[in-house]
Amino acid sequence: MRRETEDFMVRHGMLRENGRILAALSGGADSVCLLYVLAGMREKWNLEIRAVHVNHGLRGQEAERDQAFSESCARSLEIPFSCVKVDVRELAVREGLSEEEAARNLRYQAFEEAAGHWEEEDGAPVLVAVAHHRDDNAETVLHNLFRGSGLRGLSGIRPVRGRIIRPLLWAGRREILEFLQAESISWITDSTNRSDAYTRNRIRNQILPLICGQINSRAPEHISQAAERIGQADAYLESQAEAWLKENRADLPMGAGFIGADAAALSRQPEIIQAYVVRRMMEETGEGMRDLSGVHVQAVLALLKKQSGSRADLPGGLWAFRQKDGIFLGRCRPDCTLEAAARMSGGCAEKIEPPKLEFETFFLEKGMKFPQKQYTKWFDYDKIQGALSVRTRQTGDYFLLPGGGRKTVKSYMIDQKIPAGIRDRIFLLAEGSHVLWIIGWRISEGVKITSQTRRILQVHVSGGKENDR
């Protein structure tokens, strides 16, 4: 057990000389095994080990028993021990979570805080070791499979995630119990592990034993091996999607604050890459994927076949919409205004910073070319009489059409099927109510360069990704 665990830790970069490891200790067989195995490596690797126990406050006297046993176990190995008490039920009610999920969140928060406090002592990094094993991994894969998870969920539990390490992920429950029995090491049993009230427990207590007993005794090992290969495929597809999005990102005008992808280019990709690109866009919103599933990914992809202005409502205040040549995701409702959002909790009325514009003037010379660029425009400087401002739209804003007619900015945005929630996030370069440039879109006919133009005003949006327009 010790040699195999050491080899596994070295292979996955978990082990280094003079390292510091905070071991999660529940008092159960798995965590006790982990603590003893790590303790056996102290001298060879000059490890500093501490143990932390989280009391969830859910099982009364049994929880107090677990805490006392864990402390005694750590002290017997001369390992410093600490306990963190949390209120699982309070968090579950407040956040609308199951007690199982709330307990997990509080547990990992406690681990992170304990590791952070240790690091503050002298700045040296601290890893947190938890006792997940191969059977846990198989259980996770089956649980995610039954829920309809994609490749990421089917890749199971990763050996390393940030500072979290799982040294026993190579071993099954059987190997752990055999080690403890051979070493005459005692442990305690959490009574909730025998209850089938939780989905994971039903998989652990009913489904996996049935599979092992009637199909293949090595099923957990094979499931874990498959999960590892799936994880490799997932990582590759993720990297491909990230690279694709970097090259095919679509922009709304500066200040709109949405993440976009070129719709035509995305349509040409295989379906699996399309899905990974959308997932990547969702992650870039900064809210993660907690409430987002394959159904929501498909809802976004359905916009590829819909007309401009179509949209999809996603969990967590996330919205997707089709706009001209792109698909966009953001956290502002496409049909709300800034004024309405200001009255809404979690709306889209956050402060919007105007784009940085770079101005340059020069005389028109023969042969000069002025290509159609999205974020660089050229104007007849002498046709501009008043002071320029960069702002969002106001009532009465207009621009000039060929022939001298006017069109309001509002009408233009409606004609272009720009969602209402975006309209107040698009900046304008204006001379009073005369809008010279709807930034990222079009300029007024009244300031275009003609054969009579002498001086040019060039305006460039700093940071704008140029697309021909």
pLDDT of residue 345: 36
Same domain, 97 and 32: yes
415 pLDDT higher than 70: yes
Same domain, 293 and 420: no
Same domain, 221 and 76: yes
Q: Is residue 340 part of a domain?
A: no
> b/e string for 67-100 if b means 16 or more Cβ within 10 A?
bebbbebbeebebebbbbebebeebbeeeeeebb
- Residue 423 pLDDT class (50, 70, 90 cuts): confident
Same domain, 221 and 313: no
- The tens digit of pLDDT for each residue in 270-285 reads 999 999 999 888 888 7
Q: Is residue 108 part of a domain?
A: yes
In 204-218, which residue ranges form alpha helices assigned H by DSSP?
A: 208-214
- The tens digit of pLDDT for each residue in 359-371 reads 999 999 888 888 8
Domains in the chain, number: 3
192 pLDDT higher than 50: yes
Same domain, 259 and 362: no
pLDDT of residue 291: 57
Same domain, 97 and 194: yes
- Output the domain CATH number for residue 57: 3.40.50.620
- Output the domain CATH number for residue 362: 3.50.40.10
Same domain, 292 and 210: no
Same domain, 203 and 94: yes
Q: Is residue 383 part of a domain?
A: yes
Same domain, 223 and 273: no
Pairing state of beta strands 326-330 and 319-323? antiparallel
Q: Is residue 227 part of a domain?
A: yes
Q: Is residue 349 part of a domain?
A: no
- The tens digit of pLDDT for each residue in 90-127 reads 888 887 778 888 888 899 999 999 999 999 988 889 99
Same domain, 154 and 277: no
Q: What is the pTM of this model?
A: 0.65
Please give the average per-residue pLDDT across 211-219, as a whole number: 92
Domain boundary among 331, 365, 396: 331
Instruction: Please tell me the least confidently modeled range out of 106-120, 145-159, 212-226, 377-391.
Output: 145-159
- The tens digit of pLDDT for each residue in 3-35 reads 999 999 999 999 999 999 999 999 999 999 999
Distance CA 146, CA 433 (A): 59
Instruction: Please tell me the least confidently modeled range out of 82-91, 198-207, 287-296, 306-315.
Output: 287-296
Same domain, 396 and 277: no
Cα dihedral sign for 130, 131, 137, 142?
negative
Averaged pLDDT of the chain: 86
Domain that holds residue 394: 357-461
- Output the domain CATH number for residue 302: 3.30.465.60
pLDDT of residue 96: 77
Q: Is residue 270 part of a domain?
A: yes
Q: Is residue 366 part of a domain?
A: yes
Distance CA 463, CA 426 (A): 15
Same domain, 216 and 259: no
Nearest to residue 160, comparing CAs of 289, 17, 12?
A: 12
Q: Is residue 346 part of a domain?
A: no
